Amino acid sequence: MDFVQWIKNLGKNDLQDLVWSEAKKINWKEVNRESNLPFSLAYVGEEAGFTRFLEWLEWTRYGFLGVALEKRIPLTGMARARLLHVEPAGAPERRHLLEKADVLVLEAGGLPEGIPPKGFHLFLGDGPQGLAEEVLEAHKPIGQALAHHFPAFRTALAKKVLGDVSLQNALFAGASSAANAVPGPHQAVTAPLEALSDFAVLTGNELRMVFLLAGGCGRQVSPSRLVPEFLVVLGGGKAAQMLATQVLGKIPAGAGSLAKGTIAYAFTYAIGEAAFQSLNFGIRGRAGSIRRRMRELEGYAREQLKGAVGMGKPKEEDFFREIEGQLRFGHPGTVNRFPLVVEEERYRRIHPVKQKVLARLVKDLLEKDREGKIRKILVFGSALTLYCNSFSDIDLVVLGDFREFDPGLHLYEYGDVDLFGYNEEEFMKELKDNRFYREVWERGYVLYEQFPASGQGGPEVR
């Protein structure tokens, strides 16, 4: 009997033994230690703004590829003990406390006196998911603890954990496929051993992923509690059988590492997503849901794996050709700078998926702007960081000749997009006094700029 058939015939007790064997190798106490690290989060703003901030901290939302969930989870006493609220007027006298804070969040609308010269984050009132990603990226050592105590950070942490572990499994599975990608006489000996090794490594990584997710969802990690939950997520062995059949079985010649890695990525992500939904939202998956989710994730998984090994980034000339014709709509006196952007290093930091989303979004915004009122479009925030991934949100500021800006688009069709529209003249007048405006202007990146007609001069292109 080969390994795949053996896995198919696994009984419940056999699967439990395998999972328990891998669970013993994981340092779950370290997850608990990181989840309970001491830290303080300070908020500087008026009472009304702090109330909104508290509400934002309690909401946990998850949205990806057709899945949309949200839940409000009240803050615990331990979480509230880590919070410090300082009114703007009291910032100078409480400066010593603000200097000690691990995370400093300011209410948008100006920089109060007494703020220590350290990194801070702006709360814009509605608390976009990008703020959670930004905070976690800037404070990696306490990221697990932030999510453990404050639900608002859980999705950002979960997506990072899911992506990291899925990629690890994909690269491992792809690398281990070389010996058995093409059937040969040596397979009778090596294939079962390879498959057993693969199963142990992949399952161990998935368990570690579940432990990290549990810690980030406010749980105290205990194998005696989480292993049974993991087995429930596996669906009584059905998911393990699918892993054995599709990932650990023989792969047709020519498919090789990418095919195996893609399935391993999609499988791991689907398992982790189901575990996160159970741990954070209390939603149990139904039989067959992991298989269906795997199929939905395969395209995304293939793209992530290609990007990781340097296969997925389109050539600049191909990308330019793809969007060049779309971004010419001929308003008098308008010059479209977007094609030039792809040649600049800062733009190349953006994940290839986000580059294409930005291209489509800018094109559609300009097509809706028949009167030519849009003067500038800037991207800012997490999309411009070196750590941008396909999950990162897109923050855009549109400046133009209008009082109120209506994009005329259903922004949810482009993913997690936060769009702000301002009158350009008023924006520039308030630039020195408004901290948010200044952050956007100094750190943002111009995607599009409308030049005046020839001979009338124009702003310097950054």
Pairwise pLDDT comparison (36 vs 10), residue with the higher score = 36
SS3 (DSSP) at 43? strand
Least confident span in 62-76, 280-294, 338-352, 410-424: 338-352
Q: Predicted confidence band at 37 (pLDDT cuts at 50, 70, 90)? A: very high
The dihedrals phi and psi of 115, each to the nearest 5 degrees, come to: -75, 125
CA torsion through residues 323, 329, 330, 333, sign: negative
pTM over 0.85: no
Q: Predicted confidence band at 179 (pLDDT cuts at 50, 70, 90)? A: very low
Q: C-alpha dihedral over 308, 310, 415, 167, to 10 degrees?
A: -10
Q: Is the pLDDT of residue 157 over 90?
A: yes
Number of H helices, E strands in the chain: 20, 10
Q: Is the pLDDT of residue 86 over 60?
A: yes
Residues spanned by CATH 3.30.460 within the chain? 316-449
The runs of H, that is alpha helices, within 376-434 are 424-429
Residue 350 backbone class (left: φ over 0; alpha: ψ -120 to 50; beta: rest): beta
The dihedrals phi and psi of 62, each to the nearest 5 degrees, come to: -135, 130
Model pLDDT, residue 63: 82
Maximum C-alpha span of the chain: 81
Residue 282 backbone class (left: φ over 0; alpha: ψ -120 to 50; beta: rest): left
Q: Is the pLDDT of residue 67 over 50?
A: yes
Model pLDDT, residue 210: 87
Pairwise pLDDT comparison (43 vs 188), residue with the higher score = 43
d(CA 322, CA 136): 35
d(CA 20, CA 154): 26
Model pLDDT, residue 224: 74
Per residue in 391-404, pLDDT (tens digit) is: 667 889 999 999 88
Per residue in 328-338, pLDDT (tens digit) is: 444 433 345 55
- Please state whether beta strands 83-86 and 103-107 pair in parallel, antiparallel, or not at all (unpaired): unpaired
- Please state whether beta strands 83-86 and 41-44 pair in parallel, antiparallel, or not at all (unpaired): parallel
Pairwise pLDDT comparison (385 vs 226), residue with the higher score = 226
Pairwise pLDDT comparison (447 vs 8), residue with the higher score = 447
With beta carbons less than 8 A apart as the criterion, state whether 163 and 176 touch. no
Most confident by average pLDDT, 153-167, 312-326, 424-438: 153-167
Over range 327-354, report the average pLDDT. 55
CA dist list (Å): 358 to 129, 362, 378, 413, 414: 18, 6, 11, 12, 9
Q: Domain spanning 316-449 has what CATH number?
A: 3.30.460
CA torsion through residues 128, 131, 132, 133, sign: positive
Q: Which of 142, 139, 122 is nearest to 53 (CA)?
A: 122
Pairwise pLDDT comparison (321 vs 235), residue with the higher score = 235
With beta carbons less than 8 A apart as the criterion, state whether 133 and 382 touch. yes
Q: Is the pLDDT of residue 257 over 90?
A: no
Q: Contacts for 366-374 with beta carbons within 8 Å, 24 or more apart?
A: 366/327, 366/329, 366/336, 366/448, 367/329, 368/407, 368/408, 368/409, 369/400, 372/331, 372/332, 372/333, 372/334, 372/450, 373/400, 373/401, 373/402, 374/398, 374/399, 374/400, 374/448, 374/450
Q: Predicted confidence band at 190 (pLDDT cuts at 50, 70, 90)? A: very low
Q: Predicted confidence band at 344 (pLDDT cuts at 50, 70, 90)? A: low
Q: Predicted confidence band at 235 (pLDDT cuts at 50, 70, 90)? A: low
The dihedrals phi and psi of 459, each to the nearest 5 degrees, come to: -70, 155
Q: Is the pLDDT of residue 14 over 70?
A: no
Q: What percent of the chain has pLDDT over 70?
A: 63
Least confident span in 58-67, 90-99, 317-326, 436-445: 317-326
d(CA 458, CA 195): 64
With beta carbons less than 8 A apart as the criterion, state whether 449 and 461 touch. yes
SS3 (DSSP) at 140? helix
